[in-house]
Amino acid sequence: MNQVQILVLDFGSQYTQLIARRLREFGVYTEIVPYFEKIESIKAKNPKGIILSGGPASVYEKDSYKPDSKIFDLKVPVLGICYGMQYIAYHFGGKVIRAKEQEFGKARLEILAKDSTPLFANVKQDSIVWMSHADKVEQIPSGFNELAKSGNTHYCVMADFNRQIYALQFHPEVVHSECGGEILKNFAVKICKSDTNWNMKNFIHYEIEKIRKITGFTSEK
């Protein structure tokens, strides 16, 4: 049976499927669910880590997408990407505003605290990352540390090490982010301690067995 290692909450980003794809390429079994997934369902999946995807909304708007905040009580690491980062900042009392200088495209990641976290293992200084945001975190919440910045974004990476909550303003899942795959892998494997034994052959076998149980079909004639 495939044990969910990383669960991605989808806030409507065009890149959400890429998050799961990149992690599966590293052998980490990853599933995607809507941002409004019930906390009971999330608990039942028992993931080793949760990723909050990007999305087109502004977190400070009245009807913006928000997950069940009990995800932060599950005692598993959480990674927010773009909108996911802004939600984390907003939820924990930080400040998110409309950026005067919006970022769409390539930027250089200036790591400020490389040795403070395994998130940056094998990530080179000034690597290219892909930005796509109109809002930005103006003030990080209490308990969080700034870990990296870019030319137009002061808070590009932040983390609360005590609660194991991490957040990126850029999209590590796209190929334009030079070391993005390493960052995702570091989160899943080094921080969440995910298994890396998933592959498509095992997945197909698992799905076939699941269908057989549902249909009652147990052997070929």
pLDDT for res 201 = 60
171 part of the active site: yes
Please state the separation of Cα 195 from the chain's center in Å.
Answer: 17
Contacts of 120 (CB under 8 A, 6+ apart): 111, 114, 147, 148, 183, 186
Quick check: 35 pLDDT over 50? Answer: yes
**Spatial separation of the C-alpha atoms in residues 162 and 109, rounded to whole Å:** 24
Structure tokens at 211: 């269908």
Residue 34 bridge partners (DSSP): 10
Give Cα separations from 177 to 5, 22, 73, 211 (angstroms): 23, 12, 31, 38
Which tens digit of pLDDT belongs to each residue from 96-136? 988 766 666 799 999 998 788 999 999 999 999 998 767 88
CB of 11 closer than 8 Å to CB of 54: yes
pLDDT for res 171 = 95
Q: What is the mean pLDDT of residues 164-172?
A: 96
| Confidence band of 47 (pLDDT split at 50, 70, 90) | very high
Residue by residue, DSSP assigns 118-165 as GGGTT--TTEEEEEEEEEEEEEPPTT-EEEEE-SS-S-SEEEETTTTE
Q: What is the mean pLDDT of residues 176-194?
A: 97
Task: Tell me which of 103, 156, 171, 179 is the catalytic residue.
Answer: 171
Task: Tell me which of 103, 173, 178, 182 is the catalytic residue.
Answer: 173
pTM here is 0.89
